[in-house]
Structure 1
Amino acid sequence: MSEIPNLDYIKEISGGNEDFEKKFLNIIQTEFPKEKQDYFSFLESGDLEESAKVVHKIKHKLGILGLTEGYKLAIQYEEDLKDRNTKLKNQFHEILESVEGFILKIA
Protein backbone atom coordinates (compact mmCIF):
# COMPACT_ATOMS: atom_id res chain seq x y z
CA MET A 1 0.00 0.00 0.00
CA SER A 2 1.49 3.32 -1.04
CA GLU A 3 -0.69 5.59 1.08
CA ILE A 4 0.40 6.52 4.57
CA PRO A 5 -2.08 7.59 7.25
CA ASN A 6 -1.69 11.20 8.28
CA LEU A 7 -3.30 13.93 10.36
CA ASP A 8 -3.63 16.54 7.60
CA TYR A 9 -7.44 16.43 7.45
CA ILE A 10 -7.82 16.54 11.23
CA LYS A 11 -5.46 19.52 11.42
CA GLU A 12 -7.36 21.22 8.61
CA ILE A 13 -10.79 20.90 10.22
CA SER A 14 -9.47 21.74 13.69
CA GLY A 15 -8.29 25.16 12.61
CA GLY A 16 -5.31 24.76 14.91
CA ASN A 17 -7.40 23.83 17.95
CA GLU A 18 -5.18 21.23 19.63
CA ASP A 19 -7.88 20.18 22.10
CA PHE A 20 -10.19 19.36 19.18
CA GLU A 21 -7.42 17.39 17.49
CA LYS A 22 -6.72 15.40 20.65
CA LYS A 23 -10.41 14.60 21.17
CA PHE A 24 -10.83 13.57 17.55
CA LEU A 25 -7.75 11.34 17.70
CA ASN A 26 -8.92 9.85 20.98
CA ILE A 27 -12.18 8.82 19.33
CA ILE A 28 -10.30 7.13 16.49
CA GLN A 29 -7.85 5.47 18.87
CA THR A 30 -10.73 4.15 20.97
CA GLU A 31 -13.11 3.05 18.23
CA PHE A 32 -10.75 1.66 15.58
CA PRO A 33 -9.32 -1.29 17.57
CA LYS A 34 -12.82 -2.41 18.60
CA GLU A 35 -14.14 -2.10 15.05
CA LYS A 36 -11.15 -4.00 13.69
CA GLN A 37 -11.74 -6.77 16.22
CA ASP A 38 -15.46 -6.89 15.38
CA TYR A 39 -14.68 -7.02 11.66
CA PHE A 40 -12.35 -10.00 12.08
CA SER A 41 -14.80 -11.79 14.37
CA PHE A 42 -17.65 -11.43 11.90
CA LEU A 43 -15.43 -12.38 8.98
CA GLU A 44 -14.15 -15.46 10.79
CA SER A 45 -17.70 -16.57 11.64
CA GLY A 46 -18.76 -16.08 7.99
CA ASP A 47 -21.15 -13.24 8.76
CA LEU A 48 -20.25 -11.10 5.77
CA GLU A 49 -23.27 -8.81 6.17
CA GLU A 50 -22.11 -7.77 9.64
CA SER A 51 -18.53 -7.52 8.36
CA ALA A 52 -19.78 -5.08 5.71
CA LYS A 53 -21.43 -2.96 8.41
CA VAL A 54 -18.14 -2.69 10.28
CA VAL A 55 -16.24 -1.87 7.08
CA HIS A 56 -18.77 0.94 6.60
CA LYS A 57 -17.74 2.41 9.98
CA ILE A 58 -14.03 1.92 9.35
CA LYS A 59 -14.06 3.51 5.89
CA HIS A 60 -14.87 6.93 7.34
CA LYS A 61 -11.82 6.74 9.59
CA LEU A 62 -9.70 5.90 6.54
CA GLY A 63 -10.87 9.11 4.87
CA ILE A 64 -10.20 11.12 8.01
CA LEU A 65 -6.68 9.72 8.15
CA GLY A 66 -5.96 10.81 4.58
CA LEU A 67 -6.26 7.39 2.95
CA THR A 68 -8.16 8.40 -0.17
CA GLU A 69 -7.45 5.20 -2.07
CA GLY A 70 -8.06 3.15 1.08
CA TYR A 71 -11.43 4.84 1.47
CA LYS A 72 -12.34 3.99 -2.13
CA LEU A 73 -11.24 0.39 -1.65
CA ALA A 74 -13.34 0.15 1.53
CA ILE A 75 -16.40 1.40 -0.36
CA GLN A 76 -15.94 -1.36 -2.94
CA TYR A 77 -15.11 -3.99 -0.32
CA GLU A 78 -18.22 -3.12 1.69
CA GLU A 79 -20.38 -3.67 -1.40
CA ASP A 80 -18.49 -6.85 -2.29
CA LEU A 81 -19.06 -8.28 1.19
CA LYS A 82 -22.79 -7.70 0.80
CA ASP A 83 -22.54 -9.85 -2.33
CA ARG A 84 -20.50 -12.48 -0.40
CA ASN A 85 -17.32 -11.59 -2.28
CA THR A 86 -14.07 -11.29 -0.31
CA LYS A 87 -11.60 -10.72 -3.15
CA LEU A 88 -10.42 -7.39 -1.66
CA LYS A 89 -9.87 -8.88 1.80
CA ASN A 90 -6.06 -8.94 1.70
CA GLN A 91 -5.80 -5.36 0.45
CA PHE A 92 -8.23 -4.21 3.13
CA HIS A 93 -6.26 -6.06 5.80
CA GLU A 94 -3.08 -4.27 4.71
CA ILE A 95 -4.87 -0.96 5.20
CA LEU A 96 -6.09 -2.01 8.65
CA GLU A 97 -2.53 -2.91 9.67
CA SER A 98 -1.24 0.41 8.39
CA VAL A 99 -3.85 2.33 10.38
CA GLU A 100 -3.23 0.27 13.50
CA GLY A 101 0.52 0.96 13.30
CA PHE A 102 -0.14 4.66 12.80
CA ILE A 103 -2.51 4.81 15.78
CA LEU A 104 0.03 3.09 18.00
CA LYS A 105 2.76 5.46 16.80
CA ILE A 106 0.78 8.61 17.64
CA ALA A 107 -0.53 7.33 20.99
Structure 2
Amino acid sequence: MENPNMLYIDSLARGDKSVKNQLIDVIKTEFPDEKKDYFESFGQLDYKKIEENVHKLKHKISIFGLEKSYKIANEYEHNLREFSIEGSEDFEKILNVISEFLETI
Protein backbone atom coordinates (compact mmCIF):
# COMPACT_ATOMS: atom_id res chain seq x y z
CA MET A 1 0.00 0.00 0.00
CA GLU A 2 1.22 3.47 -0.85
CA ASN A 3 2.03 6.02 1.80
CA PRO A 4 0.28 9.40 1.74
CA ASN A 5 2.45 12.47 1.30
CA MET A 6 2.15 16.23 1.49
CA LEU A 7 3.80 17.10 -1.85
CA TYR A 8 0.64 18.38 -3.53
CA ILE A 9 -0.44 20.35 -0.46
CA ASP A 10 3.05 21.83 -0.22
CA SER A 11 2.91 22.87 -3.86
CA LEU A 12 -0.46 24.54 -3.36
CA ALA A 13 0.77 26.39 -0.28
CA ARG A 14 3.94 27.61 -2.04
CA GLY A 15 5.83 27.76 1.22
CA ASP A 16 3.12 29.64 3.11
CA LYS A 17 2.63 27.74 6.38
CA SER A 18 -0.72 29.39 7.12
CA VAL A 19 -2.10 28.30 3.75
CA LYS A 20 -0.75 24.79 4.30
CA ASN A 21 -2.36 24.65 7.75
CA GLN A 22 -5.67 25.89 6.35
CA LEU A 23 -5.64 23.20 3.67
CA ILE A 24 -4.84 20.53 6.23
CA ASP A 25 -7.59 21.80 8.55
CA VAL A 26 -10.14 21.64 5.73
CA ILE A 27 -9.15 18.07 4.92
CA LYS A 28 -9.15 17.04 8.58
CA THR A 29 -12.67 18.47 8.89
CA GLU A 30 -14.11 17.10 5.65
CA PHE A 31 -12.52 13.66 5.45
CA PRO A 32 -14.06 12.10 8.59
CA ASP A 33 -17.53 13.30 7.58
CA GLU A 34 -17.12 12.03 4.03
CA LYS A 35 -15.82 8.70 5.33
CA LYS A 36 -18.79 8.42 7.71
CA ASP A 37 -21.22 9.21 4.87
CA TYR A 38 -19.56 6.52 2.76
CA PHE A 39 -20.00 3.85 5.42
CA GLU A 40 -23.61 4.89 6.06
CA SER A 41 -24.50 4.64 2.38
CA PHE A 42 -22.59 1.36 2.11
CA GLY A 43 -24.56 -0.02 5.05
CA GLN A 44 -27.77 0.81 3.20
CA LEU A 45 -26.34 -0.54 -0.06
CA ASP A 46 -27.42 2.66 -1.78
CA TYR A 47 -25.24 2.29 -4.87
CA LYS A 48 -25.82 5.81 -6.18
CA LYS A 49 -24.98 7.38 -2.82
CA ILE A 50 -21.95 5.10 -2.35
CA GLU A 51 -20.72 6.15 -5.79
CA GLU A 52 -21.14 9.83 -4.88
CA ASN A 53 -19.21 9.30 -1.64
CA VAL A 54 -16.41 7.47 -3.43
CA HIS A 55 -16.22 10.29 -5.96
CA LYS A 56 -15.78 12.87 -3.18
CA LEU A 57 -13.23 10.77 -1.32
CA LYS A 58 -11.31 10.09 -4.52
CA HIS A 59 -10.22 13.71 -4.56
CA LYS A 60 -8.74 13.41 -1.07
CA ILE A 61 -6.87 10.33 -2.24
CA SER A 62 -5.29 12.30 -5.08
CA ILE A 63 -4.40 15.21 -2.79
CA PHE A 64 -2.17 12.86 -0.82
CA GLY A 65 -0.34 11.62 -3.91
CA LEU A 66 -1.82 8.13 -3.82
CA GLU A 67 -1.81 7.40 -7.54
CA LYS A 68 -2.38 3.64 -7.36
CA SER A 69 -5.04 4.13 -4.72
CA TYR A 70 -6.75 6.71 -6.92
CA LYS A 71 -6.94 4.12 -9.70
CA ILE A 72 -8.43 1.60 -7.26
CA ALA A 73 -11.02 4.16 -6.17
CA ASN A 74 -11.81 5.02 -9.78
CA GLU A 75 -12.36 1.34 -10.66
CA TYR A 76 -14.53 0.90 -7.59
CA GLU A 77 -16.58 3.94 -8.57
CA HIS A 78 -17.15 2.42 -12.03
CA ASN A 79 -18.10 -0.94 -10.47
CA LEU A 80 -20.72 0.78 -8.35
CA ARG A 81 -22.36 2.07 -11.54
CA GLU A 82 -22.83 -1.60 -12.44
CA PHE A 83 -24.28 -2.33 -8.96
CA SER A 84 -21.14 -4.15 -7.88
CA ILE A 85 -19.24 -3.54 -4.66
CA GLU A 86 -16.11 -5.21 -6.05
CA GLY A 87 -13.19 -3.17 -4.80
CA SER A 88 -14.83 -2.03 -1.57
CA GLU A 89 -12.32 -3.81 0.67
CA ASP A 90 -9.33 -2.21 -1.03
CA PHE A 91 -11.06 1.17 -1.00
CA GLU A 92 -11.77 0.91 2.71
CA LYS A 93 -8.12 0.03 3.37
CA ILE A 94 -7.17 3.25 1.60
CA LEU A 95 -9.57 5.19 3.82
CA ASN A 96 -7.93 3.69 6.88
CA VAL A 97 -4.45 4.61 5.64
CA ILE A 98 -5.56 8.20 5.13
CA SER A 99 -7.24 8.31 8.55
CA GLU A 100 -4.03 7.12 10.20
CA PHE A 101 -1.99 9.65 8.21
CA LEU A 102 -4.27 12.52 9.23
CA GLU A 103 -3.65 11.65 12.87
CA THR A 104 0.07 12.22 12.35
CA ILE A 105 -0.10 15.65 10.70
State the TM-score, normalized to the length of structure 1: 0.94
- How far has the Cα of 1:73 moved from its partner? 1.1
Give the number of equivalent residue pairs.
Answer: 105
Which residue number in structure 2 is paired with residue 82 of structure 1?
81
Equivalent runs, 1:1-40 vs 2, <5 Å: 1=1, 3-40=2-39
Structure 2 residue runs of 5 or longer lacking an equivalent are none
Question: Percentage identity across aligned positions?
Answer: 36
Give the Cα–Cα distance (whole angstroms) in 2 for the partners of residues 82 and 100 of structure 1: 26
State the TM-score, normalized to the length of structure 2: 0.96
Where in structure 1 do 4 or more consecutive aligned residues deviate above 2 Å? none
- How far has the Cα of 1:80 moved from its partner? 0.8
Give the Cα–Cα distance (whole angstroms) in 2 for the partners of residues 82 and 17 of structure 1: 40
Give the Cα–Cα distance (whole angstroms) in 1 for the partners of residues 76 and 26 of structure 2: 24
One-letter amino acid matched to 1:99:
I
- CA-to-aligned-CA distance 1:15-64 (integer Å, 9 cap, x gap): 10111111111111000000000000000111011010010000011000
Structure 1 residue runs of 5 or longer lacking an equivalent are none
One-letter amino acid matched to 2:69:
G
One-letter amino acid matched to 2:104:
K
One-letter amino acid matched to 1:86:
I
One-letter amino acid matched to 1:21:
K
- How far has the Cα of 1:82 moved from its partner? 1.6
One-letter amino acid matched to 1:96:
L
One-letter amino acid matched to 2:84:
N
